[in-house]
Structure 1
Amino acid sequence: MAAESLEAAIQRVGSAVGVLRDSKVRPHTFPVAPEFTNWRSEQKAWRTTCALLDQSHHMTDLFISGPDGLRLLSDFGVNSFANFTPGKAKQYVAVNQDGYFIGDAILFHLEDGLFDLVGHPTVANWLQYNVEVGGYDVTLERDDNSYDRPSGPPKLYRYELQGPNAVPLLEKLTGEPLPHVRFFNMTEFVIAGHRVRALRHGMAGMPGFEMFGPWAEGEEVLAAILAAGAEFGLVRAGAKAYSTSNLESAWIPTAVPAIFGPELRGYREWLRVDSLGSLGGSMNSADITDYYVTPYDIGYGHVVKFDHEFLGREALERLAGTPRRAKVSLVWNPDDVVSAVRSLQEPGLPAKYIEMPKARYAFFQVDAVLRDGKQVGMSLDVGYIANERAFISLATLDLDCAEPGTEVTVLWGEEPNSAKPAVEEHRQIEVRATVAPAPYVREVRESYRKS
């Protein structure tokens, strides 16, 4: 039997919010070892020595080739494509016709006419649909993450080295000084006799490279990295630590995609309901559009360029001069976090379980942020940074509440409790929080994108 479409599920349940809040779809899966040592030491490594992260399994690759590849990407991306030559990459951002965010992913320009879009499947689904209905002369090859792939290994291995010792480790591996590579530009190494492509990157803001190549060569490349890494304090980081790296660089991994208007009914009829993900958190508006954000709300204003025509351009031009919200970090009050954990050992209904180090329990985690009892924004990801000894969330707040030092409250837990498998019976609590810059870590704010 054919899988139910998102639109059919909405019609059956009666609302988009109802479908997403009770969705049985898993929050997200990182199909690698949870820990190789322990997640605290693994977090520490990307600050003090060098961490190796395996990104081979949890992301979706959409390979785009053909005469209309660049036109497709330009038509649906807010980014500039001027001078986007092979060997470069960018954080690709797509919006709907009203300028509201659909999703983002890393876009690699591998060769003339060949692109690789890497990330959560949200944007890959969106582009694939528009290829099918838009008459673009392109060829798509899709490689889903290892949880969803029908069979076989990934097409590519993908490893990331990050930390202050990443560069000297790579110089030992390659036997020569590393070339100067600007942020989000690519170079090539030879490791274990194999050609390795490498993106100058750093998920937690420290120096590093994301390296990739054919899956069949991955084990030999990995073995060489591990053999060379001992003297540089190399630590393998598992899924638990990896899932928190974005909290340091302030990348918000998911936001509810703005795909629920009448003009996108065809897309929802095309999209399987289990392709989207679940909605969790204390915010429980019946209107799905209340969950929408713009690129400006979540820190992507700098990538919006009006040098080309794209879906949503006119709306973003209107929004550009009058942003309503800003991305911030929220530092949760330690006493309130401890109180929530302590409630698990006290009589009565406990607070929602806070998992460490990443506390999100839905693909789209949306918790209401209050000031003086009024909602002033949304918390969109949450977890613990051992390097800072701080429990923080990434949020978008009204501008008059976004100044560092402002005191707010995060509602934690659902009222009423949804039917998601990850939600146990619990009571909603208020957690005091203090607004801080995003990125929260000073070194990351000052050095993340330096060339």
Structure 2
Amino acid sequence: MGFSVTSMRQQPQVYAWSRFGQPEYTNWLDESLSWKDTCYIGDWSFLWQHKFRGPDVIKLFSDLSVNSFARFAPGQSKHVIHTNDGGKVIHEGILTRFPGDEYVLHGRGGFWVRYNLERGDYNASVEQDDWFIYQVSGPNSIKLLGKLDPSLSFLDTRYMWISPITIAGHRIWALRQGMAGELGFELQGPAEIGKEIYEAVLEAGQEFGIRRMGARVAMINHLESCVPTIATDYIPAIFEDELSEYLEFFLSSMPSYAQPAYIAGSYQGREISEYYRSPVELGWERNVSFDHEFPGREALMAEKAKPRRVMRTLVWNSEDVVDVYASLFREGAHYTYMEIPRDPWGFMWADRIERDGRLVGVATSRGYSYYFRKMLSLATIDVDHAEPGTEVTVIWGNPGEPEKAIRAVVAPVPYKPDRSRGDLRAAL
């Protein structure tokens, strides 16, 4: 297909990144504390939903995904990952099996599965649907949901399973998940009642300190909890000649509100494939099962046995970061501006990670955590340099602009302790 990183920098390719509500509703500092201190509601309704039915749905997903489907009961959800023959991620998303054997996949992965279904020999059907998706999470989220549905039947929900919940007289679905690394649910249902559900949650949440999550902090949520994201931490492995037909299908399926995504930062890959990532490099190795055949199986089997790079957090040196801003107040050339709390949506900002002058990884998702008062990033880093406490250097700066060497320390992922699997009843 002939895509190069240089051409992407000069001429961004339409890649379908979606808007996320308002930039901020109160202010981004206040909103960024909500999932640790009170609770928030975040609107992910821009994600695409594909609904699958038929006796071959499980076979279809098994053929295309790294996940095992030996056990997938009604009411269960999985983070499904699709890879190419080299084991690099094409797409991923959350698949839920609903009662009545309806399967709904949220995210871009629905296009890949639909594309293969329409060209394969499967006894299954697919239709695109329109749902609202509201994340309600934080220490007070369970009290809030209990106020909305006093039956409290959702308290028995296992992690990554769904339960029905009644809000504003509507029976909808609540998926227990942990995007923020805190207790919470994702409320789901038909788009036509979405506004009513949203307003009911917001009104009931006032006594619990609820905040609406704006675009400026949504990715800080992902950063602190280590949720690698398309067009932010990796480019999907769809820019190859053998997938040119799918790429055309994918781009033609995007709605009018989709935005371009492009690459910036000090890391300058020679080929677009250098921005692809495997499930192992993104920290998703636990999802990879070899009990079935799927594209990339052999490559991932070798990589999982002996990984070359893994996912970590980097804690950037505060003095060095402050100097980037200080350069704006000095005469002469200044360093590349460092947006706070993070870069605008639509960027994959990739920076070189070095140790003793040698490239050892790539930093992405850089953002400022007001809660920790630290500049953090995710990092795909060589195993030999991945031990927490290891000192490395991040090179900050766009090509052709002054570069700043910023000291950093390797830290675990997730950086924020994960409390999403805690006792729901104890949170009432």
2:112 alignment partner AA: W
1:109 alignment partner AA: R
Partners of 1:20 and 1:113 lie apart in 2 by 42
Secondary structure of residue in 1 paired with 2:159: coil
Partners of 1:327 and 1:352 lie apart in 2 by 25
Instruction: Answer whether contact 2:282 2:311 (CA < 8 A) is retained.
Output: yes
Secondary structure of residue in 1 paired with 2:367: strand
Matches within 5 A, 1:228-307: 228-254=204-230, 255-268=234-247, 270-272=249-251, 277-307=261-291
In structure 1, the partner of 2:406 is: 431
1:34 and 2:23 correspond:
yes
1:128 and 2:114 correspond:
yes
- The one of 164, 173, 197 aligned to 2:148: 173
Deviation at 1:352, TM superposition (A): 1.8
Q: RMSD of the TM alignment (CA)?
A: 2.3
Secondary structure of residue in 1 paired with 2:377: strand
Q: Compared with structure 1, are the counterparts of its residues 142 and 21 closer, same or farther at alpha carbon in structure 2 (3 Å cutoff)?
A: farther
- The number of residues matched between the two structures is 413
In structure 2, the partner of 1:150 is: none
Partners of 2:166 and 2:252 lie apart in 1 by 43
- The one of 27, 31, 50 aligned to 2:39: 50
1:164 and 2:164 correspond:
no
Partners of 1:192 and 1:227 lie apart in 2 by 11
- The one of 207, 219, 222 aligned to 2:195: 219
- The one of 83, 108, 120 aligned to 1:95: 83
TM-score by length of 1: 0.85
Deviation at 1:88, TM superposition (A): 1.2
Deviation at 1:86, TM superposition (A): 2.1
Partners of 2:15 and 2:237 lie apart in 1 by 21
Partners of 2:402 and 2:125 lie apart in 1 by 50
Q: Residues 119-175 of structure 1: CA distance to partner in whole angstroms, max 9, x if unpaired? A: 3x3x333223322332434333235xxxxxxxxxxx222211111111111111111
Matches within 5 A, 1:292-441: 292-359=276-343, 362-416=346-400, 426-441=401-416
Q: Residues 343-391 of structure 1: CA distance to partner in whole angstroms, max 9, x if unpaired? A: 2233223222211212266443322211111110111211111111111
Partners of 1:82 and 1:196 lie apart in 2 by 28
Secondary structure of residue in 2 paired with 1:167: helix
2:114 alignment partner AA: Q
Unaligned runs of 5+ in 1: 1-6, 144-154, 417-425
Q: Compared with structure 1, are the counterparts of its residues 109 and 364 closer, same or farther at alpha carbon in structure 2 (3 Å cutoff)?
A: farther
Of 79-88 and 159-168, more deviation after overlay is shown by: 79-88
Instruction: Answer whether contact 1:404 1:437 (CA < 8 A) is retained.
Output: yes
Of 287-296 and 385-394, more deviation after overlay is shown by: 287-296
Q: Compared with structure 1, are the counterparts of its residues 133 and 347 closer, same or farther at alpha carbon in structure 2 (3 Å cutoff)?
A: farther
Secondary structure of residue in 2 paired with 1:341: helix
Q: Compared with structure 1, are the counterparts of its residues 296 and 430 closer, same or farther at alpha carbon in structure 2 (3 Å cutoff)?
A: same
1:238 alignment partner AA: G
Partners of 2:414 and 2:399 lie apart in 1 by 30
2:268 alignment partner AA: N
Instruction: Answer whether contact 1:183 1:450 (CA < 8 A) is retained.
Output: no
Q: Compared with structure 1, are the counterparts of its residues 284 and 296 closer, same or farther at alpha carbon in structure 2 (3 Å cutoff)?
A: same
1:139 alignment partner AA: S
Partners of 2:253 and 2:157 lie apart in 1 by 40
Q: Residues 71-107 of structure 1: CA distance to partner in whole angstroms, max 9, x if unpaired? A: 2211111011122122111111111112122232111
Identity of matched residues, % = 39
In structure 1, the partner of 2:257 is: none
In structure 2, the partner of 1:149 is: none
Unaligned runs of 5+ in 2: 255-259, 424-428
Q: Compared with structure 1, are the counterparts of its residues 52 and 104 closer, same or farther at alpha carbon in structure 2 (3 Å cutoff)?
A: same
Instruction: Answer whether contact 1:26 1:363 (CA < 8 A) is retained.
Output: no
In structure 2, the partner of 1:77 is: 65
Instruction: Answer whether contact 1:87 1:111 (CA < 8 A) is retained.
Output: yes
Instruction: Answer whether contact 2:16 2:251 (CA < 8 A) is retained.
Output: no
1:101 alignment partner AA: V
TM-score by length of 2: 0.89
Partners of 1:228 and 1:101 lie apart in 2 by 40
